[in-house]
Amino acid sequence: MAILRNDADKTLTLLTKNTMYQMKVDDRGVLEHTYYGKKMEYMDMHYYVECIDGASFSPYPVNDKTDDRYSYNHISQELSTSGVGDFRISAIGLRNTDGSYGCEPRFVSAEIRDGKYSLNGLPAFYGDEAQTLVVTLKDTVYDIYFHLYYGVFEEYDLITRSVVVENKTNASIKLEKALSLTLDMPYGSYDMLYFHGRHTRERILERTRIKHARTTVASVRGASSHMHNPFVVIADKNANEDYGSAWGIALVYSGNFEITAEKNLQEKTRVVAGINTENFNYEVPAGESFTAPEVAMVYSANGFANMSNCFHKAIRNNLCRGKFKNAQRPVLINNWEGTYFDFNADKLVSMAHEAAKMGVELFVMDDGWFGKRDNDRCALGDWTPNEEKLQGTLKSLAERINAEGMKFGIWFEPECISPDSDLYRAHPDYALAMPNRTPQQSRHQYVIDMSRKEVRDNIYNQLAKVLSSANISYVKWDFNRHLTDVYSVELPAEKQGEVYHRYMLGVYELLERILTSFPNVLFESCSGGGGRFDCGMLYYMPQVWTSDNSDAIDRLKIQYGTSFAYPVSTMGAHVSVCPNHQNARITPLKTRGNVAYFGTYGLELDVTKMTDDEKAEIARQIVEFKKHYELIQRGDYYRLISPYPEEESLFCAWEVVKPDGSEALACAVRYESDACTAPEFLKLKGLCENKWYTVNDSKEKYLGSALMNAGIKIPYNFFTYPSTLFHIKEA
């Protein structure tokens, strides 16, 4: 059993293959968090968190005749609330029917169910092999219930958590804060690893000590954003890839979020995660409920690599959905950097013709195919093919591409609208805009109010018409700006604090509708590249365009940071032209290919301008990528050398290994040059110590223990940005 209930101890214990999570109902009915860490034999762990000393002006409840040393400000809680004596960061902020601010949840019941719970209108992990625990708490004064949902995936060491707030009073209440997670950590010194960035420089690892000041990772952009990712790692201060405790926390949500950590006066650390509280104020009418997004957690006693691989497997198998989640996806070419807006059908077909000869399987027509869209200043929202530019119908273009032996894909940006568009002229109210204020533009466009069903219906009907009109196998769903002027004409003044979240619910509803109607289309998420790379979007689309920066050397840090939570199979990665369009760097074509292998390999250039030698190299790469496809996409992933200077290496390196250790593929890329370079050896991971292996089909044999403890020499190539691929297999 993954969930144990001990009524004598009043404990509830969640068990995975290697971890244990426990909570206890104390003598006052408060649900305390007692333990989350390495799996042990069962015992009541309350002693580990019990603390009634060091009050330091902390108030205490008196209505249950407790002593004056018991305070909400000290105890480890499963659901932290504001207004009643806990001065730490809290998860729930609730305005009651009488206007008072505060609540005191007490235990009511616990129910164990087979299978994983689902969330109405929100993405969530799924699986019949999981178990669900539902714990119900009730406020001491009002008929307000808090249903805590826990999902337990034993094999992946994954535990999920969500909160449903149910209003059984006779009047509306207001949620001013509705975070999904409270995690009170034991005494100790912890670091937070988070992944910041900007457009073309997403998910750059930073590590900081959690101190008594609050450390927050957040977005108020209406999207998870390029700037921060809704995933963090809380770790022992000495933890690394292979050693120490690490708690990974991922929010399954794509809108405004916050993850905050704080050490309190008693040296305990609390972490909360969920919807960002800025401009959030949600009414829950009498008899209705509010559901907070899901949080997924993995604990590893053996460092970051183990934690990452648990997330990778769970995301691949129990978050991504549909026929493509584990299918071999086609090698594609996207015309964007090859042509930008300057193309017609003949140009696209000529690119497809050359790409097909190299083994490319899917041609994707990017921005510029609809309305009067010859630049980024117009026509978003007018999803009608420009038949003059396409030299015929969309169907005829798809047929021409198909005749080259290739599938056909298309680009959309359904969530945005151009002021210069027929849709905006007909429905200016479709755009988010505040009364009496000129709305902000970004990329010469506004954001559509996806909280409104009428708007979603319009967009759905346009997209469905296009997707039904031709043999379309792939959609790139883009979102190239963030939300401002957040106001919906359909909501009264007192409900405008709901628009951000209602917008995200609307996007999810539209995606669900489109995917249900077109299950045979492969969807890829994009938001100016990697501006919405999160578990929420992966529930609908199994891959994300990792970054608009396709430079192989910059991608070392981008894909390195992304890999802490997200599997290779979700990362869009393409070979692009040199000099690179984002930074003008010149990188060998082989290195560009080796980096792109560890993602959904494709091309982003004009193949008609390539030399015969370059075309031959791409053809070789496609054969090599397909040869190792299953290993790359489904192997255990190890970060061997980080791309940061503190590693005192000139290389970045990583590896994928079959779970049984029989085969591996490693890549080392030199991102710095140095004269008279000393030799470097790459220490592999995940192999069998006592088995013999060959490397790149050489005659020499190596013990697995030698390859892991001594390593394999990285060849030195006297040119800029070389890379080496190592194929290791049992001899």
Report the catalytic residues.
534, 614
Report whether 165 contacts 92 (CB < 8 A): yes
Q: Which residue has the tokens 């792939």?
A: 474
**CA torsion angle 475 479 485 489 (round to 10):** 10
Runs of H (alpha helix) within 249-393: 303-318, 336-339, 345-358
C-alpha 601/C-alpha 552 separation (Å) is: 12
State which amino acid sits at residue 487. Answer: Y
Give the closest residue to 202 by CA, choosing from 450, 544, 494, 520.
544
Q: Compute the distance between CA of residue 591 and CA of residue 589 in angstroms, rounded to an integer.
A: 5
* Helix and strand counts by DSSP (H, E) for the chain: 13, 38
In contact, 233 and 248? CB cutoff 8 Å: yes
The kind and range of the H/E element at 133 are strand 131-139
| Token couple for 105 | 């949840």
The amino acid occupying position 715 is P
Cα distances from 427 to residues 430, 432, 451, 499, 576, in angstroms, run: 6, 11, 15, 19, 39
**Cβ–Cβ < 8 Å for 333, 530:** no
Q: How far is CA 117 from the centre of its chain?
A: 20
SS (H, E, C) 157-212: CEEEEEEEEEECCCCCEEEEEEEEEEEEECCCCEEEEEEEEECCEEEEEEEEECCC
Distance, CA of 554 to CA of 652 (rounded, Å): 11
On whether the CB atoms of residues 504 and 253 are closer than 8 A, the answer is: yes
Q: State how far the Cα of 132 lies from the Cα of 134, in Å rounded to an integer.
A: 7
Phi, psi of 490 (to 5 degrees): -90, -10
Euclidean distance between CA atoms 385 and 621, whole angstroms: 34
Largest CA distance in the chain: 85
Euclidean distance between the first and final Cα of the chain, in Å? 41
Beta carbons of 499 and 491 less than 8 angstroms apart = yes
Residue 189, Cβ neighbours under 10 Å: how many?
A: 13
The DSSP H or E segment spanning 517 is: helix 499-517
CA distance 556 to 531: 17
Cα–Cα distance measured from residue 350 to residue 333, given in angstroms and rounded to the nearest whole number? 12
Q: How far apart are CA 271 and CA 276, in angstroms?
A: 14
